[in-house]
Amino acid sequence: MCGICGKLMFDQQATVPPELVKAMADTISHRGPDDEGYHVSGQIGLGFRRLSIIDLNTGHQPISNEDGSVWIVFNGEIYNYKELREFLSSRGHVFRTKTDTEVIVHLYEEFGERCVDKLRGMFAFAIWDDRRKLLFIARDRLGIKPLYYASSPRSLVFASEMKAILADPEVLREVEPAMIDRFLSFYYTPGEETLLKSVKKLQPGHYLIVRHGELHIHQYWDLHFLPEPQHSNQKQAEEQLVDLLEESVRLHMISDVPVGFLLSGGLDSTAMLCFAAGKSDQPISSYTIGFSEPGIEDERPFARLAASRYGVKHYEMTITSQDFLDFLPQYVWHMEEAVSEPPAIALYYVSKLAKEYVKVLISGEGGDEAFAGYGNYRNILWLERLKSAIGPLKGAFSGCLGALNSVLRSNKIAKYLALLDIPLSSYYYSRTSSPFSFFNRPSNQVYSSGFAHLVDKRRSLSVLQKYLHMDMNNLNTMLYVDTKTWLPDDLLIKADKITMANSIELRVPFLDHKVMEFAASLPSNFKVHGFTTKYLAKKALSHRVPHEILHRKKTGFPVPYETWLRKDLKPWLQDLLFSQRALQRGYFDRYGMEKLFSKNSEAGTYSKEIFCLAVLELWHRIFADGGSLPVSHEAGRLIKDETHSCPVTK
């Protein structure tokens, strides 16, 4: 696991300043505190920060081929690198190290850009081909590793994190208004765009070629859901899933340093641990976090049960509202993109605990998107079936349900009641069902009149429409949308950047592309069966995972932030969001903001939205205003600094 960065000048007579590449790499030193390296030659500059995991002694980067004509900087792990190395050696390639990085260099010599087809793992890398004067940048299939770039008429800059790109003074910090609305619509920013006009994300399963000043982006992989079931025998499918998971976990355990497991107390993380237990030469440890707040389910007893069952050393912790606040500005600095993920702050503290013992963590991320684990999938499938069954009686049924809900006052009923007359493709933007965001309701006038004129709601929501018109059934449509958006642009951004904030490598065996392709080939009733989600996975793991965990109600990663935002942190939030500096940006109407706070104080209904606003303001102060955030920064200093910021203009 590492951090990479670089710059290519399009003019072959131009030179990249070595000090710039060094400055870029220094901003992401947390991604690689063990080593650094540079290759700066004329128009190209490559930078690297290393976290030593495999081949501790000879894994220095950048690394080249035998004659120095091809150079690479690489972030990630290639799990099939040993078999690829044997193939390449048989083809006459000479290796100087035992790293997976050098395998990619020689694989590129053999297959050019199609080398990505051979790789099994998580990766983001850049290859400079000096003979062809070509820069080749690629990102893994599911988007486990991040990669950003910014282009201008003169150059292209790229890095594992945006802050390294912003170290180049030529990159402008101009905010894109449409992306503010997209963030507030979805609670994250799906698609290739970011809040900064100049910075883009290379999409998962894509590579970028730069030659003679021209950029060409190609998609090399996609997840295909087959229209007809490929597995009619459930027992065989269960056995195949177990074999795939055993293989994937075995590959993800490859490491020259100790490996630990993040335990959520749920099926997916417990399954990862069960496949690893007793199969490593090094001791295995596990880590979890819990809360004792009223109304919040404590994950710790279930994590302890799993650790005890598989005989691993277990560590756990809890955090307070003050811990949450203290890390909040650093959360924004590390995430860089606007993402509303309060559980990420808990992830930071538990990975900080794990750092005392390991350099590698394994989690169950991706199991829900692969095998349909969210209750949202089941509920919407039944809703769509109901809509088909009642047909023209939808109006009468809706009226009866509305009358019932006037008595029950159920947020869940109200949510699905509003969908009875709307087709799936019109409302399923993401698993959050973003049309129910406070900011997407016309009656809630939060934007100022000036900013509202700059917002094109159709542009904000259209980013996912291309994924909704594929030839798939309803369940596969939802799984595909989430795999292309929610997974890489929210969950995996959080997983990578927050663990890397503690110089920890996070691995996700469920997101091995072979596991994902197998899941996509399954019939829908192997995923959602009646009222049971993740049906096949639960059947396949029923004799491996404790019964108490297998049949738990899904809780996600509970963090009592709603209570904290309404009580302990409310004064801090009001000082931040109603400060002169925040209001001068011109985005929001003060009365609309006060209305939002008032409604949230009553029932906590809009804590997610308020957290979004806090993230957005902190993001502006750290990135758009040209500031920075040292590790020792305290939340209060961002409130007291009332320096002028420019209002939004066309």
Catalytic sites, residue numbers: 2
Bin 295: left if φ > 0, else alpha if -120 < ψ < 50, else beta. left
Cβ count near 227 (within 10 Å): 9
CB 290 within 8 A of CB 318: yes
∠ CA 550-552-555, nearest 5°, is 125
**Start-to-end C-alpha separation, the chain:** 41
Report phi then psi at 472, rounded to 5.
Answer: -140, 160
State the DSSP code for 501: T
State the DSSP code for 647: P
Cβ count near 561 (within 10 Å): 23
Residues 6+ apart with CB under 8 A from 149: 137, 156, 157, 158, 159, 165, 199, 200, 202, 208
**Distance (Å, whole) CA 630 – CA 628:** 7
Q: Specify which residues 137 forms β-bridges with.
A: 126, 208
Residues 6+ apart with CB under 8 A from 67: none
**Distance (Å, whole) CA 263 – CA 286:** 6
Find tokens 């290393």 and name the residue. Answer: 50
**Distance (Å, whole) CA 562 – CA 393:** 38
Report the DSSP pairing between strands 284-289 and 259-262: parallel
CB 164 within 8 A of CB 27: yes
Report the DSSP pairing between strands 313-317 and 284-289: parallel
Secondary structure (DSSP) of 384-415:
HHHHHHHGGGHHHHHHHHHHHHHHH--HHHHH
3-state helix/strand/coil string of 584-640:
CCCCECHHHHHHHHHHHHHHCCCHHHHHHHHHHHHHHHHHHCCCCCCCCCCHHHHHH
CA dihedral 367, 368, 371, 373 (to 10 degrees): 140
Alpha helices per DSSP H over 409-484: 411-417, 424-427, 449-452, 457-462, 474-484
Amino acid at 235: K
Report phi then psi at 314, rounded to 5.
Answer: -115, 140
Nearest by Cα to 498 from 287, 348, 296 = 348
Residues 6+ apart with CB under 8 A from 411: 605
Cβ count near 579 (within 10 Å): 17
**Distance (Å, whole) CA 345 – CA 570:** 18
